[in-house]
Chains A and B, each alone.
Chain A
Amino acid sequence: MAAADQHSGHEGHHTTTGISHNKLLMWSFLASDCMFFGSLIMMYMVYRPEMTDLGGLGPNDLLDIPFSSLMTFVLLMSSLAFVLGLSSLQRGNEAGMRIWLTTTALLGLLFLGGESFEYMKFYGEGLSIGENIFGTAYFVTTGFHKIHVGIGVIWLLGIVAMSYRGRVPKERSEMVEIAGLYWHFVDIVWIVIFTFIFLVPYR
C-alpha cells in the first residue's frame, strides 16, 4: 500500500477516516453542486414546453447545434489534456504537467470565448436574460456553468504558476488531482446540459 501511494504521488493520509479530507471536502462540494445544477436543468425542462412559439426568439430558432457540438468536443478534450498532465506529474515530469495543464486552460478559454460569441449572437438577435422564459432559463443555466469554467481556468493557471516556482512536486500531486475533480465535474455538467438543453427534442 505504501509503495503504491509512493508510486502514485500520494501523501500518507493520517486522518480519522484514513482517507484524504481535502478530497472528501471536494467530493462533498461536488455533491452539493449536483443539486445546484440539477435544479437549474430541471427548471429549463419544466418550462421547455412553453418555449415552442416565442416569435423567433425560442430554442428552435436560436440554438446552434453544430457550434455547440464543437464546444462540447473542446471541453471533452480539455478533460483528456488534464488527466495526461496529472499522469505526467505522477511520473515526476513537472514540465509535462505544466504543458498539459496550460493546454487544458487554453481549451477552457476557447470554450468560454466560443460560448461568449454565442451569447453576443443571441443578444444581437434580440434575446436577453429578461426577454422571455427561454432567455432567463438559458442564460442563467449556461451562465453559472461558464462561471464554473472561468474559476477552473484561474485555478489551473495558478497551479502552473506555482509549478514554475517549484511548489508542485510529484509528492504534492493530490492538489492537482483535486483541481482535476473540479474540472472534470464542470465537464460532466456540460455533458448533461448539452443533452437536455441542446439535443433532446421537445415537441
Chain B
Amino acid sequence: MAEEHAHHPSDRTYLKVGSLLFILTAVEIALYFVEDAFESEWSLYLLIAALIILSSFKFILVVMYYMHLKWDDRMFSWFFLAGMFVAAAIILAMMAMYRYY
C-alpha cells in the first residue's frame, strides 16, 4: 500500500482494505459457528480474545484507511483517542461497579 500520494490512498488500496474487512468478518463468523469446539474454559477465553482481536483489527483498518487518520494531521488522532480513552475508562469503571456492588 505504498502508492498513496500526500493525503489519500488509491482506489486499489481502498479495494484491498475492503477485501481484508470482508475476509476478517468471514473468519469471525466461522469462529462463531465452531464455538461448540471450544469446550474448556481456557479455550473459550481464547475464542473471545480472538474475536476481540479480529474486531479491533477491523476497527483500526477503517479508522486508518477509510477515515484517513493514517495521513491526516495528528491532532485529529489525539482528539479521537481522547474520546476512546474516556469511553474505555467509563466502561471499565461501570463494569467494576456492577460487578462488585
Contacts and interface: CB of A to CB of B under 8 A. Distances in A.
28 contacts: A4-B6, A4-B7, A7-B7, A24-B76, A28-B79, A31-B83, A33-B83, A34-B80, A34-B84, A37-B87, A38-B91, A39-B90, A41-B91, A42-B94, A46-B95, A65-B33, A73-B22, A76-B25, A79-B66, A84-B14, A87-B8, A87-B10, A87-B11, A184-B63, A188-B62, A199-B51, A200-B52, A201-B48
A147 interface: no
B80 A30 contact: yes
Contacts of A28: 79, 83
B2 interface: no
Nearest to A66: B29
A17 B82 contact: no
A29 B59 CA distance: 18
A80 B62 CA distance: 10
Contact of B63 (A65, A73, A177, A188): A188
Given A79-B21, A80-B15, 4 more contacts: A31-B83, A39-B90, A77-B18, A198-B32
Nearest to A68: B29
B31 to A, nearest CB: 8
Contacts of A38: 87-88, 90-91
Interface in A65-121: 65, 69, 72-73, 76-77, 79-80, 82-84, 86-87, 90
Contacts of B72: 23
Contact of B62 (A23, A42, A79, A199): A79
Contact of A203 (B44, B79, B98): B44
Nearest to A35: B87
B22 A76 contact: yes
Query: What band does the interface of chain B fall in when counting residues whose beta carbon is under 8 Å from A?
Result: 35 or more
Nearest to B92: A42
A27 interface: yes
Interface string A162-192: 0000000000000001001100110110011
A199 B84 CA distance: 22
A174 to B, nearest CB: 11
B3 interface: no
Contact of B83 (A18, A34, A72, A82): A34
Interface in B55-95: 55, 58-59, 62-63, 66-68, 72-73, 75-76, 79-80, 82-84, 86-88, 90-91, 94-95
A90 B76 contact: no
A32 interface: yes
A7 B6 contact: yes
Given A8-B8, A39-B94, A45-B95, A192 B55 contact: yes
